[in-house]
Structure 1
Amino acid sequence: MTVEVWALLAMFIGFAAFSRQRKDAEWAGKLINKRCDELDLQLLEVSLRSIGFRRTQGRLSWQRRYQFDFSSTGDTRYQGLLILSRSNFQFQLPPYRVHD
């Protein structure tokens, strides 16, 4: 293979990875917004925490972890975690104070 073919292949792989990252970020944002709405929480901030392979249920899988900050009363701040793995997702929320 020539250098040009390798360069095109590298660009294609880079574009595919970037495109997947954007889709996952959009999906994560929608899931986090929906969960906060369901629990009557104020979403403060969302950020990508980590990307990589993790062993879950005895299998190695590609995961993206999104950290999000939320408030339950307007004067508190808590950190939650959304774990995306393939087409599955899992939320981890700390205990938080509920407003009256």
Structure 2
Amino acid sequence: MTLGSLVILLSICWIAFQYWRLRGIAEFSIRYANQYCEQNNLQFLSLARRSTRISAYRGKLDWKVVYQLEFSSSGSDAYIGTMTSFGNKVIEMNLPAYKIN
């Protein structure tokens, strides 16, 4: 095995691992958003990824993902907020003011 083929193999493995890591972060974020909406008596509608990048947070290098969270407070309206996660940790939730039933 030459050095070039080893570099290509390691690159493919790294890309596959990062894809698997991003899928895990997405699944965690969906569960978190669902749980957050249940705790605050909201109806979870959808979660869509807006941006993904590698970033440093508190000295740790990981994926910083910003999601668009769509929810409803009464079932007939829809609001859009943002949720920011860093790895498997939600670091920010920004929801607009919504009507309380």
1:91 match: 93
Instruction: Return structure 1 stretches of 4+ with deviation > 3 angstroms.
Output: 53-57, 59-62
Q: Following TM superposition, by how much is the alpha carbon of 1:85 offset from its aligned partner in structure 2, in angstroms? A: 1.5
Task: Tell me, in whole angstroms, the C-alpha distance in 2 between the residues paired with 1:30 and 1:92.
Answer: 17
User: What is the letter of the counterpart of residue 50 of structure 1?
Assistant: S
Q: Give secondary structure in 2 for the equivalent of 1:96.
A: coil
2:16 match: 15
Q: Report the CA distance shift for 1:85/1:33 in structure 2 as closer, same or farther (over 3 A).
A: same
User: What is the letter of the counterpart of residue 99 of structure 2?
Assistant: R
Q: Report the CA distance shift for 1:9/1:54 in structure 2 as closer, same or farther (over 3 A).
A: closer
Deviations 1:19-64 (A, max 9, x none): 110110011011000001011111111111101245768x986411
- Mean CA deviation greater in 46-55 or 26-35: 46-55
Q: Give secondary structure in 2 for the equivalent of 1:97.
A: coil
Please report the TM-score for the alignment, with normalisation by the length of structure 1: 0.84
The answer to whether structure 1 residue 77 and structure 2 residue 78 are counterparts is yes
1:51-70 aligned within 5 A: 51-53=52-54, 62-70=63-71
Which blocks of at least 5 consecutive residues in structure 2 are unaligned?
none
Which blocks of at least 5 consecutive residues in structure 1 are unaligned?
none
Q: Give the number of equivalent residue pairs.
A: 99
Q: Report the CA distance shift for 1:60/1:14 in structure 2 as closer, same or farther (over 3 A).
A: closer
* RMSD (Å) for aligned C-alpha atoms: 2.3
Task: Tell me, in whole angstroms, the C-alpha distance in 2 between the residues paired with 1:15 and 1:61.
Answer: 16
